Amino acid sequence: AQKVTQAQTEISVVEKEDVTLDCVYETRDTTYYLFWYKQPPSGELVFLIRRNSFDEQNEISGRYSWNFQKSTSSFNFTITASQVVDSAVYFCALIASGGYNKLIFGAGTRLAVHP
C-alpha cells in the first residue's frame, strides 16, 4: 500500500525564520515519484516540485529547497527566510509505479507566517 504522512498539522513562524515541512512516504515500489503542492488561501493547487525515486539530489529553487532521503523515506521541504506570502497549506504527494498517474496526498501542513 502507498501512503504519505505529514505529521505536522500546523506550523506558525515569524517572518524571516526558516521552516521545514516534513514528509514521510510508504511504498513497496522501487520506481515512484514525489511531489509538493502549495494551496494558498485563494484555494488553487500550485505545483512546486517533482522528484523520481532514482534522483536523490537535493534541489534548491530560490528560498525553497527539498531534501530527498530514500534511507528514511522522507522528502522534506524547507523554506528559508519565510515571508507572509508563504502562508498556505502544503501537500506532499506520491505516485507509485504500476499504474496510471494516481496522486496519493498527505493530509497537508498549514503554514502561517506572521509579520
For another protein, which is the closer residue by CB, 18 or 59? 59
Q: Does 37 bind another protein (CB under 8 A)?
A: yes
What is the C-alpha separation between 24 and 13, in angstroms, rounded? 22
> With CB under 8 A as the contact rule, which of the stretches 15-23, 59-67, 74-82, 104-112 interacts with another protein?
104-112
Nearer to another protein, 94 or 113 (CB): 94
Site size toward another protein (CB under 8 A) is 27
The answer to whether 11 and 109 have CB atoms below 8 angstroms apart is: yes
From the list 9, 4, 6, 5, the residue with the least C-alpha distance to 110 is: 9
Site membership for another protein, residue 10 (CB under 8 A): no
Q: Minimal CA–CA distance to 106: which of 2, 1, 20? A: 2
**28 binds another protein, rule: CB under 8 A:** no
Residue (38 or 80) nearer to another protein, CB: 38
CA distance linking residue 71 with residue 86, whole number of Å: 29
Q: Is 107 near another protein (CB under 8 A)?
A: yes
**Locus of grid cell 512516504:** 25
DSSP letter for each residue of 19-35: EEE--EEE-S-SSEEEE
What residue ranges bind another protein (CB under 8 A)?
Answer: 31-33, 35, 37, 39, 42-47, 50, 52, 89, 91, 95, 97-103, 105, 107-108
